[in-house]
């Protein structure tokens, strides 16, 4: 009898997993279940071109709807999996439908951390930036001259700040840490982006948290900051991190540690259940980590597809990431976790790259409008090559020669 593979979560990873199963020749039934109304779509433009109004909704879709029909992938949107019966190998949906599975994949992604209602997080005019409905809901707020407070100086907050500034809004961004991008980048990269935003008129306040939002008639009108400053605002965007969607896995008794723990074969603690993308915790260089990126969602999901078909798989991510702010494209190769040394390399016209080392080993590169540094850095990291930091930082050295040394 034909096998049935069920995929819970119809986002970047879920869609990649379903497509890869067919590409690898899986002939059984595939059901891809998503609780959002839209078919699988890409999120990166939500804080970039889509927020800017430069991209139509249909351009966000990862595949046209016909694709799922052509590939005989049953796509159920607007329905959520409510629980997993591992012993019976079944999932139950909110609609009441019950599906048997031979193998199950959890690609449930993550959700934004929200501000608690006790500090005004439930006021109208306060928006997270995660989904298409989130961004559509805030579209009418983006009128020129409007005053927006952005809470959180990570990539999403900074990208939203760039869009808001470009659209003529008055932008204040608060970051509780001592500098923007503190969790993910070296001070040199933070300095680059702080200067960029300030040059576009964004008021960046670091080491400053939000104490509370204040509203009138249920709508936000003011923000009180940790230094007791009060700002009059028209709306607020919240970009203070994400939490993995692992509740289903917890309820099903799978091993969960701030995400669904999987091995290099993408298997959870139940060998019939795989997980991939933002919701999964995977082994990486002796540690258990979560990677919140398109690269990982696709690559890990494709590895999961192969593993579900019984192929020999070992997923070892080669992380890369990007961010667009104004006319700057940041490209990141590798993962800088554990670095103890950083060198910068100036490029042309204000471009710059930041190279992260642990001892003498090159770990990662942040390349700001420096595609060549990104490309060379990525190839060096993949090949396990580490040029000496003083060679890298010397702008008279042609980067490409580093590959052949
Ligand atoms: P998702 O794409 O979130 O998909 C998970 C889906 O599962 C969601 O639709 C969710 O609603 C659904 N789901 C959850 N539980 C259930 C359930 N029980 N039943 C049914 N469905 C369920 N990454 C980059 O690499 N570069 C970028 O520039 C970048 N920019 C970003 C900008 C924004 C605004 C955001 C929000 C993210 C950005 N990311 C970026 C991150 C990237 O989009 C994510 O890492 C990626 O989407 C993860 O894919 P996923 O499939 O794991 O999760």
Q: What is the pLDDT of residues 33-47, one digit of tens each?
A: 999 999 999 999 999
Say yes or no: CB of residue 130 within 6 Å of ligand 1: yes
Alpha carbons 55 and 61: distance in angstroms, whole number: 11
Alpha carbons 314 and 398: distance in angstroms, whole number: 35
Q: What is the pLDDT of residues 195-244, one digit of tens each?
A: 999 999 999 999 999 999 999 999 999 999 999 999 999 999 999 999 99
The pLDDT assigned to 284 comes to 93
Please, which pLDDT band fits residue 3 given cuts at 50, 70 and 90? very high
- Give the distance (Å) from ligand 1 centre to CA of residue 276: 11
The pLDDT assigned to 1 comes to 66
Strands 280-284 and 260-261: parallel
Q: Considering the chain, what is the average pLDDT of its residues? A: 97
Strands 103-106 and 273-275: parallel
Closest Cα to atom 29, ligand 1: which residue? 44
pLDDT value at 130 more than 80:
yes
Question: E strand or H helix at 191, and its extent?
Answer: helix 187-199
Say yes or no: CB of residue 297 within 6 Å of ligand 1: yes
The pLDDT assigned to 364 comes to 98
The pLDDT assigned to 405 comes to 77
pLDDT value at 111 more than 80:
yes
Percent of the chain with pLDDT over 90: 98
Say yes or no: CB of residue 319 within 6 Å of ligand 1: no
Q: What is the pLDDT of residues 94-106, one digit of tens each?
A: 999 999 999 999 9
Contacts of residue 298, defined as CB under 8 A and 6 or more positions apart, other chains included, come to 12, 13, 16
Closest Cα to atom 45, ligand 1: which residue? 293
SS3 (DSSP) at 253: coil
Residue with tokens 């591992």, as numbered in its chain: 86
SS3 (DSSP) at 226: coil
- Give the distance (Å) from ligand 1 centre to CA of residue 17: 14
Q: What is the pLDDT of residues 315-374, one digit of tens each?
A: 999 899 999 999 999 999 999 999 999 999 999 999 999 999 999 999 999 999 999 999
- Give the distance (Å) from ligand 1 centre to CA of residue 58: 17
* DSSP secondary structure letters along 324-390: EETTEEEEEEE--TT--EEEEEE-GGG-EEEEEEETTEEEEEEEES-HHHHHHHHHHHHHT----HH
């Amino acid at each position: 009898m034909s096998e049935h593979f069920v995929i819970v979560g119809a986002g970047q990873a879920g869609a990649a997993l379903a497509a890869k199963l067919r590409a690898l020749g899986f002939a059984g039934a595939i059901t891809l279940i998503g609780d959002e109304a839209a078919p699988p779509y890409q999120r990166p433009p939500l804080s970039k071109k889509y927020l800017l109004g430069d991209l139509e909704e249909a351009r966000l879709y990862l595949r046209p709807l016909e694709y799922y029909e052509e590939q005989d992938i049953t796509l159920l949107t607007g329905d959520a999996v409510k629980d997993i019966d591992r012993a019976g190998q079944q999932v139950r949906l909110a609609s009441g439908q019950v599906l048997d599975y031979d193998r199950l994949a959890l690609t449930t992604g993550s959700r934004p951390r929200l501000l608690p209602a006790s500090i005004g997080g439930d006021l109208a005019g306060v928006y997270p930036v995660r989904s298409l409905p989130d961004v559509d809901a805030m579209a009418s707020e983006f009128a020129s001259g409007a005053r927006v407070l952005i809470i959180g100086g990570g990539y999403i907050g900074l990208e939203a700040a760039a869009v808001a500034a470009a659209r003529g809004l008055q932008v204040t961004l608060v970051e509780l840490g001592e500098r923007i991008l503190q969790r993910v980048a070296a001070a040199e990269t933070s300095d680059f982006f702080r200067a960029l935003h300030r040059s576009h008129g964004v008021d960046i306040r670091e080491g400053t948290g939000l104490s509370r939002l204040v509203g009138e008639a249920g709508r936000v009108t003011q923000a009180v900051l940790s230094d007791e400053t009060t700002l009059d605002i028209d709306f607020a965007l919240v970009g203070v991190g994400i939490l993995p969607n692992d509740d289903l896995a917890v309820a099903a008794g799978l091993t969960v540690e701030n995400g669904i723990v999987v091995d290099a074969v993408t298997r959870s603690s139940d060998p019939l259940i795989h997980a991939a993308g933002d919701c999964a915790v995977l082994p990486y260089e002796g540690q258990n980590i979560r990677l919140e990126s398109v690269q990982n969602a696709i690559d890990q999901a494709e590895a999961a597809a192969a593993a579900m078909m019984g192929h020999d798989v070992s997923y070892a991510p080669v992380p890369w990431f990007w961010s667009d702010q104004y006319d700057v494209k940041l490209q990141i190769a590798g993962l800088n976790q554990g670095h103890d040394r950083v060198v910068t390399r100036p490029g042309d016209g204000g471009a710059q790259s930041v190279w992260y080392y642990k001892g003498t080993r090159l770990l990662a590169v942040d390349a700001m409008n420096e595609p060549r540094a990104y490309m060379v850095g990525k190839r060096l990291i993949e090949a396990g090559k580490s040029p000496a930091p003083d060679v890298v930082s010397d702008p008279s050295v042609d980067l490409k020669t580093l590959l052949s040394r």
